A and B are shown apart, each in its own frame.
Chain A
Amino acid sequence: EAGVAQSPRYKIIEKRQSVAFWCNPISGHATLYWYQQILGQGPKLLIQFQNNGVVDDSQLPKDRFSAERLKGVDSTLKIQPAKLEDSAVYLCASSRPGQTERKYGYTFGSGTRLTVV
């Protein structure tokens, strides 16, 4: 099966600009996650979708970050305006929603490396 697709692979922007990342999960995976991975740290969950509904966005900085998942498939994560501390890798992952499937973990994309200067 095809993996989780993400684009762009790299992005450099100036602070206060806006940026958007795109994710296409594995076909049939109803659950989609966006993680932020700051250099030297483990990934941290930003938002979780089940189909096109938000399950958990408690760690999403909602004053500047937004995300949507139209039609329960592709997802877009946006930052506006960006700050220097937003420099990180943004990883998208997907999984099947059932408890049996969850024990197999998630499938991750290759991420987008964002540099804010």
Chain B
Amino acid sequence: AQSVAQPEDQVNVAEGNPLTVKCTYSVSGNPYLFWYVQYPNRGLQFLLKYITGDNLVKGSYGFEAEFNKSQTSFHLKKPSALVSDSALYFCAVRDPTKGSARQLTFGSGTQLTVLP
């Protein structure tokens, strides 16, 4: 079964500093990986995805993520954090070899707080 873990419930970073939100996954095949962001009282917004190709994926709002197959990780990064980046971040995984499992499995979420 596919699974995804976000080991940190909360990440605090100062504005202007680089940020990293961690995600590790477990699937039997090559994964499809996603990051979503949720602002208060809003639905989830798609940030970026990795399907195949370059391990460094660039997404919306200056975010990027690095796929590391050997470490089964897909950490979200941004070079310089903004206060407006404060939100709940979800990593999600899908195993494309499971034709019947047309669903994403989401991590538990990481609350990012960027301090001014």
- Chain B associates with chain A: no
Give B residues with C-beta under 8 Å from A.
Answer: none
Residues of chain A whose beta carbon lies under 8 Å from any beta carbon of chain B: none
